[in-house]
Structure 1
Amino acid sequence: MTQTQEFGLDLAGRRLSMEVGRTARLAQGAVTVRYGDTIVLVTACASKQARPGQDFFPLTVDAEERMYAAGKIPGSFFKREGRPGTDAVLMARMTDRPIRPLFPKGFYNEVQVIETIISVDHVNQPDILGIVGASAALTISDIPFDDPIGACRIGYVDGQLVVNPTYEQLETSQLDLTVAGTGDAIMMVESGAREIPESVLVDALKLAQEVNGSIVEKIREMQRQVGKKKWEVTPNAALEAALSHARTFFGDRLKEALRLPGGKQARSDRMSELRTEMVTALKEEHGESALAEAFHELEGEAVRAAILNESRRPDGRTFDALRPLASEVSYLPRAHGSALFTRGETQVLSVVTLGSMGDHQKIDSLSPETEKFFMHHYNFPGFSTGEVRRAGTGRREIGHGALAERAIKPVLPDTETFPYTIRIVSDVLSSNGSSSMASVCGGILALMDAGVPIKSPVAGIAMGLVTGHGKNAVLTDIQGAEDHSGDMDFKVAGTVEGITALQMDIKVKGITYVTMKSALEQARKARLQILEHMRETIGQPRAELSKFAPRMLRIQIPVDKIGTVIGPGGKVIRGMIERYGVSIDVEDDGTVVVGSADGDSAEQAIAQIRAMTKEIEIGETYRGRVSRIMPFGAMVEILPGKDGLVHASQFSNDRNDNVEKFVKLGDELEVVVAEIDHLNRVNLALKNRPGRDGAPADGDADAGDSGGGEGGYERQRAPRGQYERRDRRDGGGRGDRGGDRGSRRPSYGGDRGGDRGGDRGGDRGGDRGGDRGGDRGGDRGGDRG
């Protein structure tokens, strides 16, 4: 049995543990990484041989979330994990990007790294553990991989840099920076920030490299103790021969093709012609696969040589120059907000849709985040590069959309200020590099066109790097050929004040933070130029929302009134939604957001909700509608769902008069709340009640005017002499005051809520038989007959 060994170190007061030998013993490399109670099992396997004709490195990194890790059962119909969610895709990409350049050149065996999240504590994030685990598993395996990396997250809380901040700390952190590197060189950077200065970011990179250096040392210690002997990678003789022959065949023609005017398409067409010519001439001596790879390498060499030796970019720009910019807003007539942003040959259509709070995205993952009120979706169709390609959302689209979302989110208003769900869709219509950063610019323009009160505009720029022969060239606003052939793709987004998002991918074995500092400064200058152009297109968010956008109104109600608004089984809230054509969202804290296509409907719904949740007070005057008429009085609805009794004595002093002689169903009456009894039943008095002589009586709003014992609600005894005393045995009519008012207290049945059967029967709900029979519902037999 393989011996279990644990290697660990303390980071930010918590132990980072890497264990080998206990699990997944048949994998070529397997490491269980633990930080707090978050645990990730990472395995690495590789095929023994490359596939025939393979001319690229087939690396696959998968992150798999196990819901049991958080004690959850998946919410899908099948109740098991399905395709990876957004968090898992982003975690896998974050691991793939830093390890891919560290495999030896010419190694084309298929490699698969699987990160399985088996425990989460909602304190420590698993993505960092995935990167560290992948690096350790590959390093101790026999798969060719000799340059381990470390990874850590840096936050900026209360003016201090924090290593591996917790979820709670990230809530208030100005920075969420993930860095992977060898200790000497940076391999990958992923960051979201709240307009943080470049100087703070540089300090954070320095700290991250110190932490990563300590992790790398521990992984090398693991390799010395438990590592396997690495496979040997033999040079690809066929490729070397094809390269030599192709270099002679082309001469300077590749360099000349790069100088052609007419943009990307003209150069691409010429390169395609040269490639076909080469394959036709040399395919008998070299395989097509070797020739294709040779052409790819020679094309990159030509681009790099022109930049480093001639200081000339493919389109003739200087290193710090932007491509021509163009933008417009309100491109689509009925969208809530839209913008068309063009930079060189890259063009993006960004469209904003505003929805109700109920339109938010519900998240079923291992993250503590359960809902999102802002989403950015990025689409990259084949026609944007003039290609035929299957449509669909892949990992690249998810990653680019998430980057733009991170860039824009810090400047959005909170839901307290702007109670909307916001969705941006960025469709790339044409692409020649930096489409994700064009999505940031287009998204911001569309938000301002929609009238979303953003704090400040954000612009994005993609930087590049070409190195070789002791020279470095940092390029602003890279295009496709420079991205394809360069050593770095460094995307920076931010406002005038600072950075909101950062992403860096490296194709060489790392860069120093000095080079990153230079790239950040160059990116800042370009970002300010783009922001100035955007301000010329639209200077600030529109004062009014689009007429096609829903109107949202917000009110606060007492928490104990939430049930009143919702109603039994949602009956009340559904009725309002149907009646007014609105959306209604009720939060646990009593916040109610009402949305509608027009403001009037929302105002009407808000008025009803206010009325439903208002407390009725004694002495208040209402104008109500007669909802029921009974022999002993009229029920008047004074607020939606709330009614009270106006006793017959309020209409006439003649007890034999019929109430219907004075009022009809639907009549409006001005009434005063006379009394609220201990069962919360409301007795009402007419605002102007006739006196004995037909004139209004004095004191018509007194509590006693609710109607006496002949059918009025039980109340405190009025002062002697104020009311005519009536025989209690003349009160049988009270049984008709039934209906929905009794549902509060089902034990007091009858028409007021349920049968008062058994010993308390009668017309008030059932016969009062037995010892309590009588004229008020049945004979009061027995001792009291």
Structure 2
Amino acid sequence: MTIHTNGETYQLNYVAKQATSALWYSYQGCVLLASVMVDKSPIEGDFLPLSVHFSQRAYAIGRIPGGFHKREGKLSEFETLTSRLIDRSLRPLFPKDYAYPTQITLLVLSHDQQSDLQVCALHAAANALYLANIGVDQNVSAVRIAKIAHTVITNPSVSQLQQSSLDLYIAGTKNALLMVEMCAQEDMAEEELLALLKSAQDHIARTCAQFERDFTPHKHPPSLVLRPSLVSDTSLEALIKEHFHAQVLDVMAQMAKSEREADFLNLAQYILNALQERGHFYALDHVQRTLKHYIHQSIRSQILDNQARLDGRGYGDVRPISIETNVLPHCHASALFTRGHTQALVVCTLGGANDARSQESLDSKTPLKERFMFDYNFLPFSVGESAPLSAPSRRELGHGNLAKRALQGSLTNKEQTIRLVSEILESNGSSSMASVCGGSLALCAAGVDVRALIAGVAMGLIVQGNRHAVLSDISALEDMQGDMDFKIAGSASGVVALQMDTKTQGLSLALFKDILTQAKQARISILAIMQKAREAIVLNPQVLPTSESLIVPPKKIAAIIGVGGRTIKEIVERFGVAIDLDKSSGAVHITGNQRKDVQEAKAYILEITQAQPYALYEVLEVEVKKIADFGVFVRLPRGGDALLHKSCLQKHGLSMESFQENQRLQCQISAIHDSGKIDVSLA
């Protein structure tokens, strides 16, 4: 059976017939296999046993995997993040008390390097899950929105997305939005963001309606007996309220300060023993389950009825903040950001081009160089646990990626190699947003030029009937007992990144507006405190690296390297510097801890290459090399390339069509960047 819908092709009963549900998905040159496997034996517990695994096969683009074993190994960061994205989009739709272990597997079998794998994968997974007929009765769709030169593009290709200043990914049903992720290189006003979300919701509603018409006739017969929702023991709850309410309030206050549940478990055991002395006999797991329900209802009722939170804050209040910078004397820069009972130590390290992280991607034929890195470490002692340190979890990778996306747009020099590491020293909610705040200040403490400070805040939501409460800067308890975790990062001018997860069946756009408005108020108050800390920063000049860049004729690069690399090795050892070379452009980048050593190394290289460096405002005769959308690349007479930006052409009343390759022009050097790149203007 083959279904053609929304430009996609789904083949049913074609492969993987032993799975609960499977389909063969095709879109243009992209082919995925999506399968759903359900264990027929339910588990005990109050969590949803769902796991999602998105895996790319190297043969999908005709590549043999790198590494010693030459085969796919653990999931890459992109695979892990995509698995999380699909999980977070589908998890809210499962029935309450669903207890059957369920695994969704997505294999990328072929990729045209232009299709959006995350949109394709979600559609394949969601429709395979809908066909399985295991209690998920709503169709799900996704859309990605890009923005190129003020033009909004729906579902862009990979190449279009690489040129975009916006990456907005939305998943939802025909009635509400389930999951949102956003990254912008420029600040986006809340009003513009809401307009884009409205257009995305309309697109998703149309797609979901089409999916429902096409797939409903082919749903599998029901194969699971869903257990009824557990009914709370009202008599036991009455006993808890009568005899132990004061102790419950104490535990709620303690839980508001930590992510630990040790106090809850101790209280459950205490109640069990006390009830037995009174002649009431219950199993411990029954007491725990009833106590958890009682606490859940008590917390939500207190917030909605009293309009006050457990720690005494109002809905829009942010916890007390303290900031210290450059607390580590031998690190390039550091920031210790504390908000309530959440504390992040963010350390910044500056490096050279060779320090960039290499990552393989199916979207690129060659490994990608990641110059801006953000690593997030959630240390067990931050929540009072004694677990051993281990490899980064999916959650840690997700939080690090969110912080990276929030901060990368604030960098004015995209060619710098920067690594930020956030060590979570104490956690009670919103540690990823504390990492964003600390990371923005750590960049400033390293002397990195940023266009604006970036602050992050996590928003929560309590919905009960027709009433709701939006909470700013949520604690772990409010996250756990609430209905939403909405992380929003931005400057004073607008939003640059966000990530929304919900435990409900989705959020309306009206709620989105309230959340964004309240989040802006919280963000502004945090930024005011951060600005004061920025003004008090004292740099670590004795440990900060310095750099120099120059351009030599590309044929002179061999002279710098020397026979068998002897010359460059001698320069590195003699002056104590690191040297990055670009053989095609002739760019030479020198980095070291002492400015004197870097300048001496630069002078030595100029001497052995007998190259005359370019000077600012120097007038040269150049040759047109390549014409791009944003300007004209030209060859410089003493080696290297430069960019003649289209804005310069427009000032002279010229267009791209006015130039041809190999045409000669008179230009003046208008800028020499730290990375060695050169801009020119018409002389």
Shift in CA distance, 38/288, structure 1 to aligned 2, threshold 3 Å: farther
List aligned pairs for 1:372-771, cutoff 5 A.
Answer: 372-392=370-390, 393-416=392-415, 420-539=416-535, 546-587=541-582, 588-614=584-610
SS of the equivalent of 2:535 reads coil
| Structure 2 residue 64 is the aligned partner of structure 1 residue 73 | yes
User: How many residues of Structure 1 are paired with residues of Structure 2 in the alignment?
Assistant: 601
Runs of 5+ consecutive residues of structure 2 not aligned to the other structure: 613-683
| Structure 2 residue 7 is the aligned partner of structure 1 residue 6 | no
Query: How far apart, CA to CA, are the structure 2 residues paired with 1:615 and 1:327?
Result: 48
Q: Which residue of 88, 103, 116 corresponds with 1:125?
A: 116
Does the aligned pair in 2 maintain the 1:107–1:233 contact within 8 Å?
no
Displacement of 1:412 in angstroms is 1.2
| Structure 2 residue 45 is the aligned partner of structure 1 residue 48 | no
Does the aligned pair in 2 maintain the 1:258–1:303 contact within 8 Å?
no
Q: Which residue of 57, 75, 78 corresponds with 2:48?
A: 57
Runs of 5+ consecutive residues of structure 1 not aligned to the other structure: 10-14, 617-785
SS of the equivalent of 2:135 reads coil
Shift in CA distance, 267/572, structure 1 to aligned 2, threshold 3 Å: closer
- The percentage of aligned residue pairs carrying the same residue is 35
SS of the equivalent of 1:538 reads helix
Displacement of 1:261 in angstroms is 6.0
Q: Structure 2 counterpart of 1:567, which letter?
A: G
Query: How far apart, CA to CA, are the structure 1 residues paired with 2:537 and 2:452?
Result: 10
Query: How far apart, CA to CA, are the structure 2 residues paired with 1:92 and 1:279?
Result: 41
Query: How far apart, CA to CA, are the structure 1 residues paired with 2:83 and 2:287?
Result: 32
Q: Which moved more, 1:566-575 or 1:179-188?
A: 566-575
For residues 234-286 of structure 1, give each alpha carbon's deviation from its aligned partner in whole angstroms, at most 9, with x where no partner exists.
4447x426x33431221164587347767625996764443223444679965
List aligned pairs for 1:55-454, cutoff 5 A.
Answer: 55-193=46-184, 194-236=186-228, 239-240=230-231, 243-251=233-241, 253-254=244-245, 257-258=248-249, 264=257, 271-280=264-273, 287-368=283-364, 370-392=368-390, 393-416=392-415, 420-454=416-450
Query: How far apart, CA to CA, are the structure 1 residues paired with 2:63 and 2:275?
Result: 60
Shift in CA distance, 408/266, structure 1 to aligned 2, threshold 3 Å: closer
Q: Which residue of structure 2 aligns with residue 780 of structure 1? A: none
Q: Which moved more, 1:347-356 or 1:383-392?
A: 383-392
SS of the equivalent of 2:493 reads coil
Q: Structure 1 counterpart of 2:269, which letter?
A: T
Shift in CA distance, 195/111, structure 1 to aligned 2, threshold 3 Å: same
Displacement of 1:211 in angstroms is 1.8
Q: Structure 2 counterpart of 1:146, which letter?
A: D
SS of the equivalent of 2:395 reads helix
Could you tell me the TM-score, scaled by structure 1's length?
0.73
Does the aligned pair in 2 maintain the 1:54–1:289 contact within 8 Å?
no
Displacement of 1:611 in angstroms is 2.4
For residues 520-554 of structure 1, give each alpha carbon's deviation from its aligned partner in whole angstroms, at most 9, with x where no partner exists.
11111111110000011113876x66321222111
Query: How far apart, CA to CA, are the structure 2 residues paired with 1:498 and 1:255?
Result: 44
Shift in CA distance, 77/279, structure 1 to aligned 2, threshold 3 Å: farther
Does the aligned pair in 1 maintain the 2:548–2:598 contact within 8 Å?
yes
For residues 313-342 of structure 1, give each alpha carbon's deviation from its aligned partner in whole angstroms, at most 9, with x where no partner exists.
111111111111111111111111111111
SS of the equivalent of 2:161 reads helix
For residues 196-242 of structure 1, give each alpha carbon's deviation from its aligned partner in whole angstroms, at most 9, with x where no partner exists.
111121111111112212222233234323210223544447x426x
RMSD between aligned residues: 2.3
Which of 1 and 2 has higher RCO (CA within 8 Å, sep 6+)? 2
Shift in CA distance, 29/316, structure 1 to aligned 2, threshold 3 Å: same
For residues 662-704 of structure 1, give each alpha carbon's deviation from its aligned partner in whole angstroms, at most 9, with x where no partner exists.
xxxxxxxxxxxxxxxxxxxxxxxxxxxxxxxxxxxxxxxxxxx
Query: How far apart, CA to CA, are the structure 2 residues paired with 1:410 and 1:292?
Result: 46
Query: How far apart, CA to CA, are the structure 1 residues paired with 2:201 and 2:11?
Result: 23
Does the aligned pair in 1 maintain the 2:269–2:284 contact within 8 Å?
no
Q: Structure 1 counterpart of 2:600, which letter?
A: Q
Does the aligned pair in 2 maintain the 1:447–1:541 contact within 8 Å?
no
Q: Structure 2 counterpart of 1:295, which letter?
A: L
Does the aligned pair in 2 maintain the 1:382–1:389 contact within 8 Å?
yes
For residues 275-311 of structure 1, give each alpha carbon's deviation from its aligned partner in whole angstroms, at most 9, with x where no partner exists.
2234446799655444433333332211111112221
Does the aligned pair in 2 maintain the 1:326–1:343 contact within 8 Å?
yes
Q: Structure 2 counterpart of 1:353, which letter?
A: T
Does the aligned pair in 1 maintain the 2:260–2:384 contact within 8 Å?
no
Does the aligned pair in 2 maintain the 1:463–1:489 contact within 8 Å?
yes
For residues 473-494 of structure 1, give each alpha carbon's deviation from its aligned partner in whole angstroms, at most 9, with x where no partner exists.
1111111111000000000000
Does the aligned pair in 1 maintain the 2:265–2:288 contact within 8 Å?
no
Could you tell me the TM-score, scaled by structure 2's length?
0.84
Displacement of 1:607 in angstroms is 1.7
For residues 67-119 of structure 1, give each alpha carbon's deviation from its aligned partner in whole angstroms, at most 9, with x where no partner exists.
11122211111010110011000000000012111111111110000111122
Does the aligned pair in 1 maintain the 2:356–2:369 contact within 8 Å?
yes
Structure number with bigger Rg: 1
Shift in CA distance, 17/208, structure 1 to aligned 2, threshold 3 Å: farther
Displacement of 1:352 in angstroms is 0.6
Does the aligned pair in 1 maintain the 2:258–2:428 contact within 8 Å?
no
Q: Which moved more, 1:433-442 or 1:199-208?
A: 199-208
Query: How far apart, CA to CA, are the structure 2 residues paired with 1:40 and 1:277?
Result: 53
Does the aligned pair in 2 maintain the 1:255–1:302 contact within 8 Å?
no
Shift in CA distance, 329/457, structure 1 to aligned 2, threshold 3 Å: same
Does the aligned pair in 1 maintain the 2:56–2:108 contact within 8 Å?
yes
Does the aligned pair in 1 maintain the 2:174–2:209 contact within 8 Å?
no
Displacement of 1:591 in angstroms is 1.4
For residues 625-661 of structure 1, give each alpha carbon's deviation from its aligned partner in whole angstroms, at most 9, with x where no partner exists.
xxxxxxxxxxxxxxxxxxxxxxxxxxxxxxxxxxxxx
Query: How far apart, CA to CA, are the structure 2 residues paired with 1:101 and 1:568?
Result: 62
Shift in CA distance, 112/557, structure 1 to aligned 2, threshold 3 Å: same
Q: Structure 2 counterpart of 1:250, which letter?
A: I
For residues 445-479 of structure 1, give each alpha carbon's deviation from its aligned partner in whole angstroms, at most 9, with x where no partner exists.
11111111111100000000110121111111111
Query: How far apart, CA to CA, are the structure 2 residues paired with 1:608 and 1:266?
Result: 57
Query: How far apart, CA to CA, are the structure 2 residues paired with 1:222 and 1:26?
Result: 23
Does the aligned pair in 1 maintain the 2:258–2:341 contact within 8 Å?
no
Query: How far apart, CA to CA, are the structure 1 residues paired with 2:274 and 2:35?
Result: 45
Q: Structure 2 counterpart of 1:78, which letter?
A: H
Query: How far apart, CA to CA, are the structure 1 residues paired with 2:227 and 2:414?
Result: 59
Shift in CA distance, 203/255, structure 1 to aligned 2, threshold 3 Å: farther
Q: Which residue of structure 2 aligns with residue 740 of structure 1? A: none
